[in-house]
Amino acid sequence: MTESVPKFIDPFSLIKQQAKLQGTVPVAALQRLSESLMTPDGEVAWTLRFRRMGSVAAITGNVAATLTLQCQCCLESLTWQVDAPINLGVVSSLDEANLLEEPYEPLLLTDSAQVCLLDIIEDEVILALPIIPQHAYACRAQTSAPGNVRLHPATDARPAKSSAQRAVPGLDEDDEPGGKNPFGVLAALRLKQPE
């Protein structure tokens, strides 16, 4: 983290100054984030601007990092890019928090006017993570059952159809199980039934 950036900040004071803070922090220094990663490597780059946006005491900016998560389908490593905006409205009561409008999320300061800067950054990165991390292509674990289609990770090419897939009546050349219309086969069966 940058030398001149304090560990604790007073958001209201920084808003009066219309301050801008930026820096980087090692991922390993963010304990809660590190616990949800496969490896706590790299850095989080962040920028925060403190200012009034109409009637809102706002903290805006962004966080960016390249993180290594664990895919929950195949349990292999998954590189995840985080580039998330920060839109916080600093409030001192729940009533004020309820009055905040989009895009602001409340940052509630109750007893103390100070807040840990790293907590703000860490919270925003954690909120940008997927709930269930998984690869964009089908993983090994998803394709272990018969009939599942696996996309090749390098080309996203579909494998050749099996004889069972070719023998399904009403399955067009472009249709595949898991395609746009999963009920296309049922429509073909309905047409064949005598009235």
pLDDT by residue, tens only, the chain of 195 residues? 444 678 899 999 999 999 999 999 999 999 999 999 999 999 999 999 999 988 899 999 999 999 999 999 899 999 999 999 999 999 988 988 898 888 999 999 877 788 999 999 999 999 999 999 998 887 765 555 555 444 444 434 344 444 444 444 554 545 455 556 777 777 777 777 665
Tokens of 57: 């005491």
Letter string b/e over residues 43-58, b meaning 16 or more CB atoms within 10 A of that residue's CB:
bbbbebbbbeeeebbb
Distance CA 177, CA 172 (A): 11
Going by C-alpha positions, the residue among 94, 43, 97, 46 that lies closest to residue 67 is 43
Question: Counting every residue, how long is the chain?
Answer: 195
What's the pLDDT score for residue 160?
41
What's the pLDDT score for residue 179?
56
Task: Please report, for residues 143, 171, 177, the alpha-carbon distance to residue 164 in angstroms, rounded to integers and kept in the order given.
Answer: 16, 11, 11
What's the pLDDT score for residue 153?
43
What's the pLDDT score for residue 25?
95
Longest Cα–Cα distance of the chain, Å, equals 81
Q: What is the value of pTM for the model shown?
A: 0.67
